[in-house]
Amino acid sequence: MTDLHQRLEDLRDRGLYRRLRIVSGPQGPRIVLDGRPVLLLCSNNYLGLADHPRVREAAADAAMRWGAGAGASRLVSGTMRIHRALEKRLAEFKHADAALLFGSGYLANMGVIGALSGAGQVVFSDELNHASIIDGCRLSRADTFVYRHHDLEHLAWGLEQAGRRAALIVTDSVFSMDGDVAPLVDLVGLARRHDVRLVVDEAHGVGCMGPGGRGAVHAAGLEREVDVVIGTLGKALGSYGAYAACDDDTARWLVNSARSLIFSTAPPPPSVAAALAALELLIEDDHLVERLGGNARVMREALAAEGFDVRGPDTHIIPLIVGDAETTMDLCEMALEDGVFAQGIRPPTVTPGTSRLRLTVMATHTAQELRGAARVLGRAARDAGLTATAQAPHEDHGQPAAA
Ligand SMILES: Cc1ncc(COP(=O)(O)O)c(C=O)c1O
């Protein structure tokens, strides 16, 4: 039998041990973490909708009307009206024929990739895609061609090699740990040229960019060009769950073949109603999306003033790449001591040598809070013996940025 205790100690020795921290109260811009008040700089509750009064009320009301749980897979005990209502609204919002709910973004990637590819085929996946895409590729039993990050020549070469076996290109839109945006126009071009489908995961795009917060695909003017757009409800939309927006045939195919939809209980009515309320708020008024963009700029400027190198994309996800895992976690703890929670991200979430603090701003942060946090991070970096530098993503990916 494997000695789990020993393996845990080994993780600790390598600076890779993870533990759960306890949050009291809602996921607002300020939280109480392990009993201590801190500024939250690493939540995906980008618009602050998880604790918006209308979203909370919708969840509470749904719990009273339809219960706490959906009871079974929708193919077994039926689709509740609230699920259908959210799908209809999401399809309108995304300008798609259909939207199909999944239990989570993880499950959506597993289900969609598996349904659109299989043994004997090839899936093309950006090397920095999210773990749920990686796992979806594995579960599909297709061969996976992992192309170098943003490297269209590498991808084109792979597509040529695969010929008729090529099934699918899949990519994050906004990369979750780096905040950069996939070259979507070129990916659409390659997908068309090679007659393969394109699946784009907008987990960090929807609610955060594009007209009305519709995401990076819309920002690039590609709304009818991408075969399946996956989005999550647990990030900017403040709830839990996910959807695939696509044409009618694809939606019906997913109902018939996406295993994570068929063999898993439907999302709970309170989560669905909360996501619907959040979506309505976004449709009524997208000022929170603008605030998020503004806050991202404030944070980048404040970090630059502290000596961090935050050139690169202008999104709400800002990586401060440190290098080794232990130093990263030291930095995280030092910032925490000063009341700023910016989680350290280590392998296997990111490649070895690129451990980082992954900062995410929220629309509900004040500029003053963000500037104060940048000062805390600058001080912590200097105290940790690092010159306060962080790296623009991928300019020198394998190297520690901090001297
Ligand atoms: C790009 C991407 N896709 C999918 C997911 C998974 O979504 P969920 O948390 O809803 O399972 C995440 C989660 O962080 C993500 O970053």
Whole-number pLDDT of residue 313: 80
Structural domain boundaries in the chain: 15-44+287-383, 52-284
Measured from the Cα of 104, ligand 1's closest atom is 10
Whole-number pLDDT of residue 389: 54
Verify whether ligand 1 is closer than 6 Å to residue 360 (CB atom). Answer: no
d(CA 81, CA 87): 10
Whole-number pLDDT of residue 314: 86
Verify whether ligand 1 is closer than 6 Å to residue 106 (CB atom). Answer: yes
Whole-number pLDDT of residue 25: 85
Measured from the Cα of 234, ligand 1's closest atom is 10
Q: Are 361 and 318 in contact (CB under 8 A)?
A: yes
Give the closest residue to 89 by CA, choosing from 245, 285, 261.
245
184, 188, 215, 291 from 220: Cα distances, Å: 7, 11, 9, 20
Verify whether ligand 1 is closer than 6 Å to residue 105 (CB atom). Answer: yes
Closest C-alpha to ligand 1, atom 7: 105
Active site residues: 176, 204, 235
Whole-number pLDDT of residue 312: 76
Whole-number pLDDT of residue 397: 30
d(CA 129, CA 231): 14
Verify whether ligand 1 is closer than 6 Å to residue 203 (CB atom). Answer: yes
How far does the centroid of ligand 1 lie from the alpha carbon of residue 152, in Å?
Answer: 24
Residue 102: φ, ψ to 5°? -125, 165
Residue 71 DSSP code: -
User: For residues 67-91, b (16+ Cβ closer than 10 Å) or e, as one string?
Assistant: eeebbebbeeeeebebbeebbebbb
**Which residue among 232, 243, 264, 360 is best mutated to probe the pocket of ligand 1, counting the most ligand atoms within 8 A of its Cβ?**
232
Q: Which amino acid is at 313?
A: P
d(CA 389, CA 403): 8
If one counts every other C-beta atom within 10 angstroms of the C-beta of residue 23, the result is 15
Residues of the chain with pLDDT under 70: 1, 387-403
Measured from the Cα of 107, ligand 1's closest atom is 11
Report the sign of the C-alpha dihedral through residues 209, 214, 217, 223, in that order. Answer: negative
How far does the centroid of ligand 1 lie from the alpha carbon of residue 88, in Å?
Answer: 22
How far does the centroid of ligand 1 lie from the alpha carbon of residue 133, in Å?
Answer: 9
User: For residues 372-403, b (16+ Cβ closer than 10 Å) or e, as one string?
Assistant: bbbebbbebbeebebebbbbbbbeebeebbbe
Q: Are 214 and 203 in contact (CB under 8 A)?
A: no
Range 52-284 has CATH code 3.40.50.2000 = no
Verify whether ligand 1 is closer than 6 Å to residue 205 (CB atom). Answer: no
Whole-number pLDDT of residue 388: 58
Helix, strand, coil proportions of the chain in percent (round to 5)? 45, 15, 40
Closest C-alpha to ligand 1, atom 9: 105
Verify whether ligand 1 is closer than 6 Å to residue 144 (CB atom). Answer: no
| Entry pTM | 0.94
Measured from the Cα of 233, ligand 1's closest atom is 10
Closest C-alpha to ligand 1, atom 4: 105
d(CA 359, CA 263): 35
Nearby residues of 282 by Cβ (< 8 Å), 6 or more positions away? 47, 49, 93, 207, 212, 213, 236, 237, 288, 289
Task: Report the CATH number of the 15-44+287-383 domain.
Answer: 3.90.1150.10
Name the packing angle between helices 269-284 and 81-94 (round to 10°): 30
If one counts every other C-beta atom within 10 angstroms of the C-beta of residue 216, the result is 23
**Which residue among 45, 104, 132 is best mutated to probe the pocket of ligand 1, counting the most ligand atoms within 8 A of its Cβ?**
132
Residue 314 DSSP code: -
Whole-number pLDDT of residue 393: 42
DSSP state letters, 329-369: HHHHHHHHHTTEE--EE-TTTS-TT-EEEEEE--TTS-HHH
Whole-number pLDDT of residue 399: 29
Give the closest residue to 372 by CA, choosing from 41, 111, 105.
41
pLDDT digits (tens, 9 = 90+) for 296-312: 999 999 999 999 989 77
How far does the centroid of ligand 1 lie from the alpha carbon of residue 131, in Å?
Answer: 8
